A and B are shown apart, each in its own frame.
Chain A
Amino acid sequence: MEANDIIKAQLLDARDLERTLHRMARQLVEMFAPDEDGAGRFGLIGMQTRGVYLARRLQRIMSEVDGIDVPLGVLDVTMYRDDFRMRMKQPVVRETKIDFDVDGRHLVLVDDVLYTGRTVRAGLDALTDLGRPASVHFLVIVDRGHRELPIKADFVGRKVPTLPGEEVRVRVQELDGKEGVWLVDHPNTEGNNA
């Protein structure tokens, strides 16, 4: 977890997370049928940082279960954030790498936690600057409520009502060395889950 985190509950363990991802992969295949017109009109966009790892899992499941190779891009929205005047130090700008043409494609943005909705708002702006997708859908592992913008996710792993001061931590093996979702108390949080 992070410094000062006090764990209150584990919401998903590694097996739960894997099952959730499998279910969501099924929903994506059902809705977009990327196996029928090739994967040419579909694309996953993982949002930095953990959304990238989660999108890779979905990509792998769709490859193993359905035999479809769907393209995957990486999106960093730091340049598009709207909390500019409230920050003391600038967050690190991470890589954006989308090697396919987004024009006319059905895109699914993948992130770990949906909170205020500001990150995905920035993500939509970033995507719009890269082209004109046919549609953009949004997939999150945890929707923790407290939206500040009229935004909702199309695919939700789990809805978790949270209190102010609480945070939801999604951790993945590849990056964190452990796997699962935790509800924690984080005093004086700056709200880095958005």
Chain B
Amino acid sequence: MTESTAHSENQPTEGGLKHRHLLGLEGYSAGEIHLILETARQFRDVLDRPIRRVPTLRGITVVNLFFEPSTRTRISFELAEKRLSADTVNFTASGSSVSKGETLKDTAQNIEAMKIDMVVLRHVSAGAPHFLTRCVDAVVINAGDGAHEHPTQALLDMLTISDHLGSLEGRNISIIGDILHSRVARSNIHGLLAVGANVTICGPNPLLPRHLEEMSPNGRVRVTHRLDEALEGADVAMALRIQMERQGRNLFPSTREYHEQYGIRLEHLDRYPDLLVMHPGPVNRGVELASEVVDHERAVILNQVTNGVAVRMAVLYLLSGSRVAE
């Protein structure tokens, strides 16, 4: 179609995604990210209709391979698949052949032998989704791999931000907490930088990555250890979950002390009256966020959850076309 569109970098790309899989947002262009977000907005409307299901992925089989405990991401993907009328199979590590010692490759090849079109993979090891693409023909979507990436979480974060602020370009996003172990932070940094947002990361020194320059080759990530510096001028404060299971490794003194130094409290919302607060969940109330902040009208945590289903529908839809490409 000869549509007269003024093309800029921050327009959805035409002709679909250039990628066959979603392993991470590293390498995804601004145009591709905007295409996913724009498509997600259309699918989100479906969620408000009397019949919240469309036949788009009828005949497509998706397997949800979760080698790591997950409730909300798994439910969100499952719901997205059902809303699109895909056939879904769930496979979780506990109570499966994984506990009998089967390798990822064997599991994947067995599943593929059952004629699967797409795999959604959550795994403790960084790089597992990439490895999977070399074992199977199916389209692979990363639902979180180790401390590497969690691309659909970052996409739903970006959708939520652009819903509230109207745009992403030039916005100031501060990510606060355990950046070092966070795949959510990593995906957000890649995605936000691609669309032209400014990223600040903030946390205690042991929780900040050593080699930040490798993560952001164009060096647009600002680093600070002081919460007030991170919040000053920020449009969005994205608090990350302190992973209690990592406690005891002495990365910071105590959760109480963490809250005093890095927890977002009501006083911060008073001081920065336009600040939006986000959190990928589940929230440790009184640690990353004061309980009153979680329930505050400027905390958009539940919008993030709704957007999660819409973004995953968009990703499943856009990548399902690449299935026939090879």
Contact = CB atoms under 8 A, between A and B. Distances in A.
A162 interface: no
B1 A49 contact: yes
Interface in A70-85: 76, 78-80, 84-85
A95 interface: yes
A93 B321 contact: no
B321 A129 contact: no
Contact of A2 (B1, B14, B35): B1
Contacts of B53: 129
B4 A80 contact: no
**Most interface-central of A2, A129, A192 (chain B CB within 10 A):** A129
A92 interface: yes
B50 A93 contact: no
Contacts of A89: 15-16, 321-322, 325
Interface of A: 1-2, 49, 76, 78-80, 84-90, 92-96, 125, 129-131, 175-177, 192
A64 to B, nearest CB: 27
Given A88-B324, A90-B318, A129-B54, A96 B45 contact: yes
B22 to A, nearest CB: 14
**Most interface-central of A1, A92, A125 (chain B CB within 10 A):** A92
A85 B320 CA distance: 9
A82 B38 CA distance: 22
Interface stretch (B55-63, B66-74, B165-173): B55-63
Contact of A129 (B49, B324, B325): B49
Contact of B3 (A78, A86, A175): A175
B51 interface: yes
A86 B59 CA distance: 13
Contact of B321 (A1, A2, A87): A87
Nearest to B54: A79
B309 to A, nearest CB: 15
7 contacts: A84-B60, A84-B320, A92-B39, A129-B50, A129-B51, A129-B54, A192-B1
Contacts of A76: 42
B55 A93 contact: no
Contacts of A79: 43, 46, 54-56, 317
Contacts of B318: 90
A78 B322 CA distance: 16
B59 A84 contact: yes
Nearest to A50: B1
B4 A90 contact: no
B12 interface: yes
B99 interface: no
A90 B39 CA distance: 11
Contacts of B317: 79, 90, 93
B2 interface: yes
A18 to B, nearest CB: 22
B320 A90 contact: yes
**Most interface-central of B12, B42, B60, B317 (chain A CB within 10 A):** B42
Interface string B18-60: 0000000000000000010011001101100111011111111
Contacts of B4: 175-177
Nearest to B84: A79
A40 B324 CA distance: 46
